[in-house]
Amino acid sequence: MRTIQDPALSREWHPAAVAAEVQDKPLAVQLLGEKLVLFRTGSGVKAFRDLCIHRGVPLSLGKVEKDHLVCAYHGWRYDADGACVCIPALPAGQAIPLKARTTTFYCMESLGFVWVALEEPHEKRPVIEPLVDHSLLPIVMGPYPVEASAPRVVENFLDVSHLMFVHEGMLGDAGYAEINDYEVRMEDGVLRSGEIRVYQPDPDGRGRGVTNSYIYEILSPMSVRLIKHTEGSDEQFHLFLMVLPETEHSCTAFMLQLRNYAEEVPDSVFIDFQNTLMAQDKLIVERQNPELLPLDLQAELHLKCDRVSIAYRRMLKELGVTFGTD
Ligand code: FES
Ligand SMILES: [Fe+2]
């Protein structure tokens, strides 16, 4: 089995699923090339290697019964700690070998997502947790599977000058494509851009054209946030993007949107809008070449307006992120 050579990512909390989707059926997911199975027990959600130690069948083919994960092939039962507690073919009274256990991973539920870390995480909780303003209305969005490397998808989210073209008529207008000068600074451990003003014909699906100011924050290699203010209004809008790196060339994006306006508008309006934006971005990021994000700043041409992307690439390089990068 391939060992993960990316301690920067294997010790991070990654969003593995929308929590509501992990119910009584085991769910197969992938993180950094490792196949995992998620399932729910009375003591919370668990993440195991998706492989029965008996004959190598994915445990996600099995079922959950009384807090045990039961393999589909010969019915071996694993308890919530990963120990095999029942081998139906063993004659009564015969002890189960102590070695009979599966590999477990760090797993927790928070903010409507299931989070997993392959190795002991740097932080006790996901990096976005302390930044979530609980006075705002939350919407959990995703999963959005993308056939592109996770860093390409994160960088696309941080890229302001594509809004006028990829999302024309919604997040931007090609007639207002110029980007004002801004800086990116490290503040309280967060890489944060200055304000970037963008004219947006329909920034949230309500069909209202406004000028918004964007602030991007890079929180960790796979978690970022957009803070949007509408000029002349008290409306607040935060959008977190968290990307699950599955293989070097595929990932799944999740989002947490928070707002203090349009309480009466059903979540489905915002979700449909985000689905459209995501489909537009997918068309681009799934075709970018090279597929892995180049961390050598000489490899692609950068403009001043790409400062957030440059800061992101530098950060990945400093942290030694290799998965999905070149
Ligand atoms: S392969 Fe899982 S019980 Fe045999
Ligand atoms: Fe986009």
> pLDDT digit string (tens) for 195-246?
999 999 999 887 889 999 999 999 999 999 999 999 889 999 999 999 999 9
Is the domain of 143 the same as that of 96? no
Residue 274 confidence (pLDDT): 96
In a domain, 125, yes or no: no
Is 159 within a domain? yes
Ligand 1 atom with the smallest distance to the CA of 57 is 1
Q: Residues 277-306: what's their mean pLDDT?
A: 95
Nearest bound ligand to the CA of residue 84: 1
Distance 73 CA to ligand 1 centre (A): 5
- Indicate which residue's Cα is closest to atom 3 of ligand 1: 74
Q: Which of ligand 1's atoms lies nearest the C-alpha of 56?
A: 1
Residue 232 has a pLDDT of 87
Query: Are 153 and 238 found together in one domain?
Result: yes
194 and 290 together in one domain: yes
- Quick one: 177 and 309 in the same domain? yes
pLDDT higher than 70, residue 12: yes
Same-domain check for residues 252 and 281? yes
Q: Which residues line ligand 1 (CB under 6 A)?
A: 52, 54-55, 57, 71, 73-74, 76
Of the three residues 74, 94, 117, the one that is the final residue of a domain is 117
134 falls within a domain? yes
Is 200 part of a structural domain of the chain?
yes
Nearest CA to ligand 1 atom 4: 74
pLDDT at residue 1 in the model? 46
The answer to the question of residue 1 being in a domain is no
In this model, does residue 113 exceed pLDDT 80?
yes
**Which tops the pLDDT comparison, 84 or 231?**
84
CB atoms near residue 296 (< 10 Å)? 10
Model confidence at 131: pLDDT above 90: yes
Question: Which of 71, 77, 84, 87 to mutate for ligand 1's pocket (most ligand atoms within 8 Å of CB)?
Answer: 71
CATH code at 268? 3.90.380.10
123 belongs to a structural domain: no
Give the residue from 112, 115, 114, 81 showing the smallest Cα distance to 98: 81
Q: Which of 74, 92, 117 is the last residue of a domain?
A: 117
Side chain identity, residue 60: S
Q: How far from 93 is each of 19, 155, 167, 227, CA to CA, in Å?
A: 39, 57, 66, 61
326 within domain boundaries: no
How far is it, in rounded angstroms, from Cα 198 to Cα 172? 7
What are the pLDDT digits (tens) for 149-204? 999 999 999 999 999 999 999 999 999 999 999 999 999 989 999 999 999 999 98
State how many domains the chain has: 2
User: What pLDDT does residue 206 have?
Assistant: 79
Same domain for 139 and 112?
A: no
Task: Indicate if the pLDDT at residue 304 is higher than 60.
Answer: yes
Q: How far is CA 44 from CA 19, 38, 114, 118, 125, in A?
A: 11, 10, 10, 17, 15
Residue 279 domain boundaries: 130-319
Does any domain span residue 140?
Answer: yes
